[in-house]
Amino acid sequence: MTWLIVAVVVVMAAGLVATLMIGQSKSNKEENAGYMQNTGKKWGRLGGIYLLVIVVVVICLIALLNQ
């Protein structure tokens, strides 16, 4: 069971790092000059999705461990 928890955390962390790297890449900003407009809302929504998924995963793991 512990390996499953570790696997979930690793996949989530890798997804977050990859998303941030793609969003902040120099080539991404150069190809689309309007990319940086309204980024606060985009990053806020994306961060909210990540937080929601983290909370759901933690709740599921707690429920599984308490059985």
Picking from 34, 14, 35, the residue whose alpha carbon sits closest to that of residue 24 is 35
The answer to whether 62 and 1 are in contact (CB under 8 A) is no
SS3 content of the chain, % helix, strand, coil (to 5): 90, 0, 10
Which residue in the block uniquely carries the two structure tokens 């309007």?
A: 34
For residue 11, pLDDT over 70 is answered with yes
pLDDT score of 13: 84
Query: pLDDT for 22-54, tens place per residue?
Result: 777 777 666 666 666 767 787 788 888 888 888
The answer to whether 55 and 10 are in contact (CB under 8 A) is no
Q: CA distances (Å), 60 to each of 24, 26, 37, 64, in order? A: 32, 38, 37, 6
